[in-house]
């Protein structure tokens, strides 16, 4: 009897042990699956351990209010008023952001001498693309006299290996240098280097044009928005720069100095009207490797993400402390403010509903 009992309790242990083994195997395989599918997320979460934050910028306080004289504004910045404004040149590399270009050029038009725009027949990732600006020239006829347009021959991606998108981007920026010279720029003129969706505010331009004593090179701190001006993210956008032009000025879109003018405009990322433009940008963009699954490009998925203010690439915020990562995780809270936005956008609000509060639904036509 006792013997029998011992036997049965022994086999009970065995059964339990088998359960534990199965459970353990399951857990391990779940972990492995998790790492395989979310490896990038996990490594982003641990960024504070493997990456150092870039050196912080020295921010120049920016003063502005309606109806304050330029003389007073210049002096508040420690600068002085000029007798005549500097000429102003705006140089961008264009992909397909037609609506942003429309807003940018209308907003900057009163101040700009020349709009310099370069476009390529391939994307940074080597996919052929039309010259979207050329195809839509009539929409930009209002700036015809000021437009200096150039095209850049792209390189097609060869099966399995394409040129490093950042290298291609570099060659394209070199082509930009000669286009800028062709536009007739002179020493002492102001040159803005930015992406189409990085729009400096008119008061920033006036300050640059009218004040003597400004630094010859400043980054522009732009308020960063995602999908529309309904989703303000933070003030993290810093790549745009303002230069007092000299022979040594080189077109770049990276860190060039420690100085940055605070609150200098707007940067609206992925602010597209139509669904195909999102898909195009997601595959065209220098970080196209972030499209890890085909399903990322599904229209219904993209639409849901735009309305929730979530991340198109299912990534974690690129921050350098755990506190900042956790603070920024999850959806961007929507804003109901359309105050202090580009004037052309507000004047034409009926035509730009998708950029304003409550307008997250996108059109789903196919490309032109
Ligand atoms: C700004 O100045 C204009 C004309 O000088 C005046 O009509 C307007 O009322 C002023 N606005 C404010 C907010 O002071
Ligand atoms: C891009 O333009 C260049 C120069 O016009 C041409 O040689 C090349 O074939 C074009 N590439 C594509 C993908 O259309």
Hey, whose CA ends up nearest to atom 9 of ligand 2?
A: 153
Are 136 and 98 within 8 A, CB to CB? yes
Are 245 and 113 within 8 A, CB to CB? no
Q: How would you class 119 by CB atoms within 10 Å of its CB: exposed for 0-12, middle for 13-18, buried for 19 or more?
A: buried
Residue 205 and residue 118 share a domain? yes
User: What was the pLDDT predicted at 314?
Assistant: 73
pLDDT in tens, 17-38: 777 778 888 887 776 666 665 6
Mutate to test the pocket of ligand 2, among 120, 127, 154 (most ligand atoms within 8 A of CB): 154
Mutate to test the pocket of ligand 1, among 64, 65, 67, 72 (most ligand atoms within 8 A of CB): 67
Would residue 185 count as lying in a domain? yes
Distance of alpha carbon 41 from alpha carbon 123, whole angstroms: 26
Inter-CA distances, 91 with 156, 162, 240, 251, Å: 25, 27, 10, 9
Q: In percent, how much of the chain has pLDDT > 90?
A: 54
Q: Is the pLDDT of residue 227 over 90?
A: yes
Would residue 299 count as lying in a domain? no
Are 229 and 354 within 8 A, CB to CB? no
Distance of alpha carbon 156 from alpha carbon 84, whole angstroms: 47
Distance of alpha carbon 281 from alpha carbon 294, whole angstroms: 14
Residue 178 and residue 83 share a domain? yes
Residue 129 and residue 90 share a domain? yes
Residue 172 and residue 29 share a domain? no
Would residue 229 count as lying in a domain? no
Would residue 351 count as lying in a domain? no
User: What was the pLDDT predicted at 1?
Assistant: 45
Would residue 281 count as lying in a domain? no
Residue 201 and residue 117 share a domain? yes
Residue 33 and residue 78 share a domain? no
Centre of ligand 2 from the C-alpha of residue 128, in Å: 9
**Total domain count, the chain:** 2
What single string gives the DSSP state of each residue in 64-111? --TT--HHHHHHHTT-EE-SSPPPEEEEEEESS-HHHHHHHHHHHTTT
Ligand 1 near 66 CB (within 6 A): yes
Q: Dihedrals φ, ψ of 186, to 5°?
A: -125, 165
User: What was the pLDDT predicted at 2?
Assistant: 47
Ligand 1 near 67 CB (within 6 A): yes
Distance of alpha carbon 162 from alpha carbon 286, whole angstroms: 12
Would residue 128 count as lying in a domain? yes
CA angle 204/359/197 to nearest 5° reads 35
Centre of ligand 1 from the C-alpha of residue 68, in Å: 10
pLDDT in tens, 96-143: 999 999 999 999 999 999 999 999 898 877 788 999 999 999 999 999
Residue 176 and residue 249 share a domain? yes
Q: Kindly give the number of the ligand 2 atom that is closest to the alpha carbon of 156.
A: 13
Over residues 338-358, mean pLDDT: 96
Would residue 277 count as lying in a domain? no
pLDDT in tens, 229-276: 999 998 989 999 999 999 899 888 888 899 999 999 999 999 999 998
Residue 204 and residue 94 share a domain? yes
Strands 217-226 and 241-244: antiparallel
Residue 80 and residue 17 share a domain? no
SS3 350: helix
- No. of helices (H) and no. of strands (E), the chain: 11, 12
User: What was the pLDDT predicted at 298?
Assistant: 84
Hey, whose CA ends up nearest to atom 4 of ligand 1?
A: 67
Range of the domain at 40: 2-45
User: What was the pLDDT predicted at 159?
Assistant: 61
Would residue 140 count as lying in a domain? yes
Residue 106 and residue 135 share a domain? yes
Whole-model pTM? 0.85
Residue 7 and residue 134 share a domain? no
Residue 69 and residue 38 share a domain? no
Strands (E) in the chain, as ranges, are 58-60, 80-81, 88-94, 114-120, 147-152, 190-195, 198-200, 211-212, 217-226, 232-237, 241-244, 259-269
Rg of the chain, C-alpha, whole Å: 26
Centre of ligand 1 from the C-alpha of residue 67, in Å: 6
Higher pLDDT, 223 or 327: 223
Please list every protein residue whose CB sits less than 6 Å from any atom of ligand 2: 121-122, 128, 153-154, 156
235-257 b/e with 16+ CB inside 10 Å = b? bebbbbbbbbbeeebebebeeee
Q: Is the pLDDT of residue 78 over 70?
A: yes
CA 233 to chain centre: 11
């Amino acid at each position: 009897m006792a013997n029998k009992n011992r036997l049965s309790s022994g086999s009970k242990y065995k059964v339990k042990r088998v359960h534990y083994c199965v459970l353990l195997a399951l857990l391990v395989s779940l972990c492995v699956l998790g790492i395989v599918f979310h490896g990038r997320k996990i490594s982003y979460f641990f960024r504070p351990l493997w990456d150092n934050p870039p050196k912080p910028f020295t921010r120049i306080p920016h003063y502005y209010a309606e109806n304050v004289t330029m003389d007073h504004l210049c002096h508040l910045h420690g600068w002085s008023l000029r007798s005549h404004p500097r000429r102003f040149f705006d140089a961008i590399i264009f992909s397909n952001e037609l609506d942003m270009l429309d807003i940018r050029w209308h907003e900057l038009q009163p101040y700009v001498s020349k709009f310099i725009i370069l476009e390529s027949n391939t994307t940074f990732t080597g996919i052929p693309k039309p010259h979207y600006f050329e195809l839509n020239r009539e929409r930009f006829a209002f700036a015809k006299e000021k437009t200096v347009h150039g095209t850049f021959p792209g390189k097609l991606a060869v099966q399995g290996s394409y040129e490093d998108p950042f290298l291609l981007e570099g060659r394209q920026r070199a082509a930009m240098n000669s286009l800028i010279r062709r536009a007739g720029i002179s020493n002492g003129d102001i040159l803005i280097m930015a992406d189409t969706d990085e729009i400096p505010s008119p008061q920033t331009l006036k300050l640059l044009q009218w004040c003597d004593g400004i630094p010859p090179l400043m980054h522009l701190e732009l308020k960063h928005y995602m999908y529309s001006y309904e989703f303000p993210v933070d003030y993290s956008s810093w790549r745009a720069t303002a230069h007092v032009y000299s022979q040594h000025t080189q077109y770049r879109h990276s860190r060039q100095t420690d100085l940055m003018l605070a609150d200098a405009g707007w940067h609206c990322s992925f602010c597209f009207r139509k669904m195909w433009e999102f898909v195009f940008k997601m595959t065209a963009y220098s970080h196209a490797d972030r499209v890890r699954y085909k399903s990322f490009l599904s229209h219904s998925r993209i639409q849901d993400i735009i309305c929730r203010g979530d991340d198109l690439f299912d990534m974690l915020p690129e921050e350098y402390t755990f506190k900042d990562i956790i603070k920024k995780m999850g959806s961007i809270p929507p804003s109901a403010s359309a105050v202090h936005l580009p004037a052309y956008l507000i004047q034409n609000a009926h035509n730009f509903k998708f950029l304003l509060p409550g307008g997250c639904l996108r059109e789903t036509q196919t490309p032109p």
